[in-house]
Amino acid sequence: MHLHDFVPASLRRFQRLWPAPSTRGGHCFSQSETHNSKPATGPRAAKLSPVSTDNHGRPPLQPDARAARVNTRNGSPTMIVPNEHRAEELYLPDFCNVRMVLAMVVGAELLAYLLSLSATRGGESRWDGLIMTSLFVQWVALASIAVLCACRRLMEGWRDMTTTLYSFGLVLAVTVVVSEAAYWGGAYLDMFPVRQGWHGEFLIRNLTISAIVTTVALRYFYVQFQLKKNIQAEAHARIQALQARVRPHFLFNSMNTIASLTRSDPALAEEVVEDLADLFRVNLADARTRVPLGEELALTRRYLHIEQLRLGERLTVEEDTAGVPQDAAIPMLTIQPLVENAVYHGIEPLPEGGAIRLQARQDRDGNIVITVANPRPAAEVIRRPGNRLALDNVRQRLGAHFGNRAKLTLDDAQGRYVATVTLPYEKAVS
């Protein structure tokens, strides 16, 4: 949203925050010195150091009404992450980490070099300039890192925008303190002549450089953090998608059934292994495949075979699918997940079990209509954690193959739960 919206709030916050950083910074800077001929560089360097700190100047998102509370969180920066995605995690790297400190020192040195290169004017030794600039930049960088390291715990849980503004303020404060120390220290040691009106210029230059570098650095940290988070989220989503296809409970229970049958009835155990293999083959295959209805029904029967061995008399299956064209095309894994849901939510929670009714017919318009019905346990029976993913997957598959000509409807009435799939009759190419 708009920067101006919340600037006042942030300013207010900063007013409260300033003192702390500057005091801390003060200790650090006391010895820094700048070199007279190139005061400008020093300050610049200072900015650099902030590298460590802030993030970037992404427009902050939401003005925070509760600005007065130091602990409020801001909306995350707009760039990559949508609003609702509130970052809980601190996006700044851990500045207390030795590797991070080393990286910062190297970065600060590069900046110092850049600054002294660009600032060199005729006559003056390039090396003198670099040394003084480095000294200054390193001071600002290290002091900023120290302050940010110390404040890290405080920033846990803040919104990204709060963290950003806070870090930004801290680095600028450090810059001011180091600049002042360098200026007065330099004057005291007589390293450069104190000119009239030059003090202000020195400070402003340093602050400007610091602000720019800090902004770029914070921005970099933020983007890098988001990238990392996105990669993690993607990996997580993949695992979830896989789990949605293969319910771990079913897998392990089937394994257990096989282990048991291996002792009592090896031939049956063999059958279960074959059924399970078929199920997994299909589950791991390309989900975009269309298969003849007969094949999908056969797969469903294999699944039910395993479940019947496991649940025994508790599971009864009534199937009425003979009257439907077996060559009708249907997205793979449309019926089996619905039947699996029926077993999971409708049969397993009932001590006495129940019946699943699987029907397929052709309606007057020639559409194929498949229904899966199961008893619906009373609300008293603890509901199992749902698996809407299975239903969503079925919907997606139907949509991908038939657009809005196919649909999945759910009906929950009279103690029965009925899932109905309707799709146009198209012959499968086999």
Partner 1 sequence: MKLLIADDEGPARARLHGLVEEIGGIEVVAEAGNGRQALLLCDELHPDIILLDIRMPGMDGLEAARHMAGLEPAPAVIFTTAYSEHALAAFDAHAIDYLLKPVRKARLAQALVKAQRLTSAQMNAVTEAAQGGQRQRTHISARRGGRIELVEVTDVAYFQAGDKYVSVHHGGGELLIDEPLKSLEEEFSQRFLRVHRGILAARDLIIGLEKDPQGHYYVMLKDQQRLPVSRRHVSELRALVRAGRIRT
| Residue 59: Cβ-neighbour burial (10 angstroms; 0-12, 13-18, 19+) | middle
Provide, rounded to whole angstroms, the least separation between the CB of residue 238 and partner 1. 20
Provide, rounded to whole angstroms, the least separation between the CB of residue 332 and partner 1. 25
Place of tokens 């699996």: 340
348 makes contact with partner 1 (CB under 8 A)? yes
Say which amino acid occupies 110: L
Q: Identify residues 222-241 at the interface with partner 1 (CB under 8 A).
A: none
Among 15, 30, 256, 430, binds partner 1 (CB under 8 A): 256
Strands 416-423 and 368-375: antiparallel
Q: Identify residues 86-115 at the interface with partner 1 (CB under 8 A).
A: none
As given in the structure block, the two tokens for residue 430 are: 């086999």
Which region among 21-29, 117-125, 190-198, 255-263 touches partner 1 (by CB under 8 A)? 255-263
Instruction: Indicate the length of the chain as a whole number.
Output: 430
Q: Identify residues 46-85 at the interface with partner 1 (CB under 8 A).
A: none
Q: Identify residues 360-419 at the interface with partner 1 (CB under 8 A).
A: 380-382
Provide, rounded to whole angstroms, the least separation between the CB of residue 256 and partner 1. 4
Strands 354-362 and 368-375: antiparallel
From the CB of residue 225, how many other CB atoms can be counted at a distance below 10 Å? Answer: 20
Query: Which CB, 197 or 248, lies closer to partner 1?
Result: 248
| Residue 169: Cβ-neighbour burial (10 angstroms; 0-12, 13-18, 19+) | buried
Helix (H, G, I), strand (E, B) or coil at 359: strand
Question: Rounded to whole angstroms, how far apart are CA atoms 166 and 18?
Answer: 9
Output the CA–CA distances (angstroms, integers) from residue 66 to 10, 19, 165, 179, 363, in the order listed.
10, 20, 15, 33, 61
Query: Which CB, 96 or 311, lies closer to partner 1?
Result: 311
Q: How many residues bind partner 1 (CB under 8 A)?
A: 26
338 makes contact with partner 1 (CB under 8 A)? no
Query: Which CB, 208 or 308, lies closer to partner 1?
Result: 308
Among 135, 143, 148, 261, binds partner 1 (CB under 8 A): 261
Among candidates 7, 46, 48, 8, which has minimal Cα distance to 220?
48
Provide, rounded to whole angstroms, the least separation between the CB of residue 291 and partner 1. 29
Provide, rounded to whole angstroms, the least separation between the CB of residue 263 and partner 1. 6
Query: Which CB, 298 or 311, lies closer to partner 1?
Result: 311
Burial track 330-368 (b if 16+ CB lie within 10 A, e otherwise): bbbbbbbbbbbbbbbbbbbbbeebbebbbbbeeeeeebb
Which region among 296-304, 344-352, 390-398, 411-419 touches partner 1 (by CB under 8 A)? 344-352
Among 189, 227, 259, 410, binds partner 1 (CB under 8 A): 259
Contact characters 303-322, partner 1, x per CB under 8 A = ------xxxx-x--------
252 makes contact with partner 1 (CB under 8 A)? yes
Which region among 138-146, 147-155, 243-251, 389-397 touches partner 1 (by CB under 8 A)? 243-251
Among 36, 257, 393, 422, binds partner 1 (CB under 8 A): 257
Bridge partner list, 370 = 360, 421
253 makes contact with partner 1 (CB under 8 A)? yes
Provide, rounded to whole angstroms, the least separation between the CB of residue 273 and partner 1. 13
Among candidates 62, 58, 69, which has minimal Cα distance to 84?
62
Q: Are 391 and 341 in contact (CB under 8 A)?
A: yes
- Chain residues in the site for partner 1 (CB under 8 A): 248-249, 251-253, 255-261, 263-264, 309-312, 314, 348-351, 380-382
